[in-house]
Structure 1
């Protein structure tokens, strides 16, 4: 048994557990270049991350002149092909993330990743970084089927089921994360260092952390 208030803690991937912005921005810019659009700096692309690759690319195209739905389909494939070959060139865990995972695991907490990234891509990223064995389950944006990724509660509820049940909390950086957790009636912590498209206070999370060195204490307080 553990004295920790949560038996399960789930994490979003992009902008929460991992800084994937360099590799995602490179993939967006590959697609923009393929369509003759100007490229964007990483800082412009960061707030576009979180709703899946197609949504991210659509925002990038809209910011550089727009395109037809058919062109978006074509460029989405360009983006995915590039990203698949270059997923972890720049991607790294955020500072203190691994120490926080170690502390939670030592307290008997089961850890999970719930992301809107395609499951096979998320699995590859975790494998490349040597992180896969830390998590009891991984749920991607396509795991539950069309229309059932975050902000739907389905992936959070599935996370709890796959982890064997128990009281859960979730950690994320977007309206998708907060929406999914709240719909599943799970306390949610927002990361102020994530890929924010609005002030972190506007996400409506139950608590905010400015770094992973604050996570364990914050979860204890929430519990």
Structure 2
């Protein structure tokens, strides 16, 4: 490890590794249009993301006129997923400096993991289409371990560490889900200030806050 303090680095996906708001926003607005709701803006979409696709749709409905019944919600959810499956990566791209930072961490001997509340098959589809999959030792989605084990529970971090064969873990994310999961697992967390936040990033309780991926390796070295 050449003295690097962590052997495994976990990354959230939406709003951390990849700016996915354009494609998620398209899918949300597709579902809203099915019930005559007005579309949400790109800025609002960024406020809706976090905690998984069902949570995102719930917030969108609450913001545009209120929640619907269970059966109607199930139908809208299928519409959203179908649209997202058709347009998973058309407007999505890694954040500036992300790929270089991942390569720099790999060069230091770190194993990389994706720890996202997005469903695993959608996470893999996105990463495959962006040709990023091979950079990661493991990819865990919100449904990988079963109900109740997604972030902010520590289970996914613990599983990522085990599957990567490491002992010293740090988390990189953008929301309270990431910070709380890391704290529950006894790991430090770095928050990316340009991601999708459910509270002002400086209030999330992260061990460090960065504005650009160029800062990540240095910050991890100092944690």
TM-score interval, smaller chain: over 0.9
Q: Any conservation in 1 of the 2:161–2:169 contact (CA below 8 Å)?
A: yes
Residue of structure 1 in register with 2:106 after alignment: 105
Q: Does 1:3 align with 2:6?
A: no
CA distance in 2, matches of 1:214, 1:33: 40
Q: TM-score, normalised by structure 2?
A: 0.98
Residue of structure 2 in register with 1:194 after alignment: 195
CA distance in 1, matches of 2:69, 2:46: 23
Counterparts of 1:6-21 in structure 2 under 5 Å?
6-21=6-21
Say which is worse superposed, 192-201 or 169-178, in terms of deviation: 192-201
Residue of structure 1 in register with 2:60 after alignment: 60
Query: Which consecutive segments of 4 or more residues in structure 1 shift more than 6 A?
Result: none
Residue of structure 2 in register with 1:221 after alignment: 222
Q: Does 1:119 align with 2:109?
A: no
Q: Structure 2, unaligned stretches of length 5 or more?
A: none
Residue of structure 2 in register with 1:166 after alignment: 167
CA distance in 2, matches of 1:37, 1:69: 17
Counterparts of 1:125-204 in structure 2 under 5 Å?
125-204=126-205
Partner of 1:205, secondary structure, is coil
Partner of 1:155, secondary structure, is helix
Q: TM-score, normalised by structure 1?
A: 0.98
Deviations 1:50-74 (Å, cap 9, x if unpaired)? 1111100110011110122322111
CA distance in 2, matches of 1:42, 1:141: 24
Residue of structure 2 in register with 1:37 after alignment: 37
Q: Structure 1, unaligned stretches of length 5 or more?
A: none
Partner of 2:14, secondary structure, is coil
Deviations 1:110-159 (Å, cap 9, x if unpaired)? 11100000000100111101111100000000001011100010000000
Counterparts of 1:44-55 in structure 2 under 5 Å?
44-55=44-55
CA distance in 2, matches of 1:22, 1:138: 22
Partner of 2:104, secondary structure, is helix
CA distance in 1, matches of 2:92, 2:54: 20
CA distance in 2, matches of 1:203, 1:78: 33
Q: Any conservation in 1 of the 2:119–2:141 contact (CA below 8 Å)?
A: yes
CA distance in 2, matches of 1:191, 1:160: 21
Q: Superposition RMSD on alpha carbons, in Å?
A: 0.8
Size of the aligned set, in residue pairs, is 222
Residue of structure 1 in register with 2:72 after alignment: 71
